[in-house]
Amino acid sequence: MTTTNPLLDFSDLPRFDTILPEHVKPAIESLLSEGRELIAHLTADQTPATWQDFAGKLSDGLEPFGRAWGVVGHLHSVNDVPAWREAYNEMLPEVSRFYAELGQNLKLFDKYKALRASAEYETLSIEQKKVVNNEIRDFRLSGAELPEDQKPRFQAIMEELSQLSAKFSENLLDATNAFAEVITDPALLAGLPDDAIQAAKSAAEKAGLSGENSGWRFSLQAPSYGPIMQYADNRELRARMYRAYATRAAEFTDGTSKPEWDNTPIINRMLALRLEDAQMLGFNNFAEVSLAPKMADTPAQVLAFLRELAAKAKPFAAKDIAELRSFAKEELGLEDFQPWDAAYVSEKLLQKRYAFSEQEVKQYFTEPKVIAGLFKVIESLFGVKVKLDSAPVWHEDVRFYRIETAAGDLVGQFYLDLYARETKRGGAWMDEARSRRRITNGIQKPIAYLNCNFARPVGEKNGKPLPATFTHDDVITLFHETGHGLHHLLTRGEELGVSGIHGVEWDAVELPSQFMENYCWEWNVVEGMTAHVDTGATLPRELFDKMLAAKNFQSGMMAVRQIEFSLFDMQLHSEFDPKSGLTVMNLLNEVRQEVAVLTPPEWHRFPNSFSHIFGGGYGAGYFSYKWAEVLSADTYAAFEEAGDPFDATVGKRFLDEILSVGGSRPAIESFKAFRGREPSVDALLRHSGMIAA
């Protein structure tokens, strides 16, 4: 069957040029059957509870299934057309059921416990011991110790949660794609950058608008929505777009959504199921379940951490919003400052205070230079080479690269998918296509997916297409996702369960990604990755100095916004009672009263698009961004103390003690091995302009 079904070909790279939706069901059913046969063999009494006979064979035997389903999930994310959605959703319950069965298999659990109690355990490698301990913990969290009569209910909960999570993301994507603002009056385009106008013109043509209906088509995808909110002089246009964006996948039926896309019942159902799941496992709430494998110990500890940060950030945020309101009134004549004015007024204030605009900066960050600059940072920090490679891809935009040692040996490979598409879910993310591990004939090299949603190239000059241009925020996003990729690719792990990002506590997994963002503020890096789209000139030092001066512009507001999301998430999963009669929006409004300085309108439905916690893996874990920010800022401070962002000694220590060890030891141990002490919040506050350097 391998020769006819490309999803079952694990000999090399995924065959994206030949994989079709109709391959999904037969491939996944075949692998599920093989997985169940393997488990039956490994749980038999005659199979010894040793690493070689049991734990190693289980990991190796289930790895192909993980890879194949990973490809299916990836294609569902980047090519969400009806056929792929149907193929993914058809098998999702079966896959969820398999993982639930696996996690509740008492015989497997007993084998791991027997291995842990055996004399052999002390002879295992550090990685192997960590895998065994993680498995025992995860079996307990998966309901392995539940009474047999409760396991079917627990399994049903897991299946339903998987389906609800997928449906949440699909509703959000459908609602996002359903809205279009078609402009036929050029006066409404006032203030918008040329590239945004060109992109809207191309979108109108692509949508088949012509004749009297021709014009400019704007959508709720970030590359289209963002410029409207930041630059459009017409306030009513901004308000319409804001309303459409804020009510995606909500209960309203005023043209921005449909009843069947309303995520409210999905949210309520997920919360009820997560609470039931937690209580079945003997926890008080889902937050306690979520924190069991994380660095943070309790919901109370996380809430205290967030409130301590809020206390430090809110005075700065209050100052930021007061400046915005004052500037809006005195300089722009806006007496009743509204949330749809925030990005627009911020941009005007930024231009006045620092005499530059993000649009001006964007002209210098051309895609070829940014990519080359990013690769140079990787090469300088870690002593490797990044080279263009070839592979089958899922879209013509996608490129493929390889990372090699200085001696030319392959370290890993990655796909780069930069542009937004209507069939691609929003945001930016890294995922794995294959993990590093030891196999019979050597080492299997890791492969990663790096996905962004940037505006694609528009326009041409002298008959040649112009390159895409990125905002500085886009560049930061690219560096961030690359940091995740490096964590996956530069590992030296040989056991699948702790190789790369596997086994890394969720609240530490953002450390490498946030660490990489710092290089977007180093002049030697920025200068080398800029070339003006028209002239080819590098970014002037004077303009960079203005960017640097503005680096912490409204950092207080940005900090409390992230803290608001984190507090909402943690309280939602630790204190909120779905049966209390209060709604999710009631809780969010309480959180906003505590920390927010700019409150959205009452019809704003942020939770309905909060895909991190309802469509991704961040439920009761969104605080991880702020938690890891403390770690990453303190990590970069080691380079600052050395006086060189590319200090070879510090860079090698970062690679050796954090990136390469993956999840083979607790993240706090890796941090202390690198830094020589416990983490400190001071570097984060200093980098954010909240304490003096």
The domain total for the chain is: 3
Contacts 24+ apart (CB under 8 A), 10-17: 10/64, 10/67, 10/68, 13/391, 13/392, 13/413, 13/433, 13/447, 14/67, 14/71, 14/392, 14/433, 15/392, 16/71, 16/75, 16/391, 16/392, 16/393, 16/394, 17/392, 17/393
208: left (phi over 0), alpha (psi -120 to 50) or beta: left
Q: How open is the CA angle 364-366-370, to the nearest 5 degrees?
A: 105
Residue 382 in domain: no
Q: Check whether residue 244 and residue 347 sit in a common domain.
A: no
Q: For residue 60, how far is the Cα from the chain centroid?
A: 27
Tokens (6 digits) for 259: 């009843």
Q: Check whether residue 75 and residue 125 sit in a common domain.
A: yes
Q: Check whether residue 45 and residue 117 sit in a common domain.
A: yes
Give the model's pLDDT for residue 98: 96
CA 335 – CA 337 distance, rounded (Å): 6
> Cα dihedral sign for 584, 587, 592, 595?
negative
Q: What are the DSSP calls for 562-580, one per residue?
A: HHHHHHHHHHHHHT--TTS
Residue 396 in domain: no
Q: Count each helix (H run) and each strand (E run) in the chain, helices first.
A: 26, 11
Residue 217 in domain: yes
Residue 664 in domain: no
Domain closes at, from 261, 291, 319: 261
How do beta strands 399-405 and 216-218 pair? Answer: unpaired
Residue 57 in domain: yes
681: left (phi over 0), alpha (psi -120 to 50) or beta: alpha
Q: Check whether residue 19 and residue 75 sit in a common domain.
A: yes
Strand, helix or coil for residue 335: coil
Sorted by sequence, the CB contacts under 8 Å of residue 598 that are 6+ apart come out as 321, 339, 342, 557
Q: Check whether residue 233 and residue 209 sit in a common domain.
A: yes
Q: Check whether residue 58 and residue 187 sit in a common domain.
A: no
Q: Check whether residue 22 and residue 109 sit in a common domain.
A: yes
Q: Check whether residue 138 and residue 65 sit in a common domain.
A: yes
CA 239 – CA 631 distance, rounded (Å): 38
Active site residues: 481
Q: Check whether residue 251 and residue 317 sit in a common domain.
A: no
DSSP state of 220: S
Task: Measure Cα distances from 394 to 14, 16, 258, 485 in Å.
Answer: 10, 5, 30, 19
Q: Check whether residue 271 and residue 253 sit in a common domain.
A: no
Task: Measure Cα distances from 567 to 259, 314, 625, 650 in Å.
Answer: 29, 14, 12, 34
Domain closes at, from 130, 145, 160: 145
Answer yes or no: pTM beyond 0.75.
yes
Q: Check whether residue 253 and residue 323 sit in a common domain.
A: no
Residue that has been written with the tokens 């294959």 in this structure: 434
88-107: string of b/e by CB count within 10 Å (b at 16+)?
beebbeebbbbbbbbbbbee
Q: Check whether residue 247 and residue 271 sit in a common domain.
A: no
Residue 691 in domain: no
Q: How open is the CA angle 578-626-311, to the nearest 5 degrees?
A: 85
Give the model's pLDDT for residue 1: 41
Select from 81, 263, 79, 255 the least CA-distant residue to 178: 255
Domain closes at, from 261, 276, 301: 261
Give the CATH number of the domain where residue 314 resides. Answer: 1.10.1370.10
Strand, helix or coil for residue 51: helix
Helical spans, DSSP H, in 333-461 = 342-354, 358-362, 367-382
Q: Which domain holds residue 216?
A: 179-261
Residue 305 in domain: yes
Strand, helix or coil for residue 494: coil
Give the CATH number of the domain where residue 135 resides. Answer: 1.20.1050.40
Residue 606 in domain: yes
Q: Chunked in runs of 10, what are the mean pLDDT values of the chain (693 residues)?
A: 81 96 98 98 98 98 98 97 97 95 95 98 98 97 94 95 96 94 96 94 88 84 96 98 96 79 97 97 98 95 96 95 97 96 96 92 97 98 97 98 97 98 94 97 97 92 92 97 98 97 94 97 97 96 95 94 98 92 95 97 97 94 94 97 97 97 96 96 88 62
Give pLDDT tens digits for 87-145: 999 999 999 999 999 999 999 999 999 999 999 999 999 999 999 999 999 999 999 99
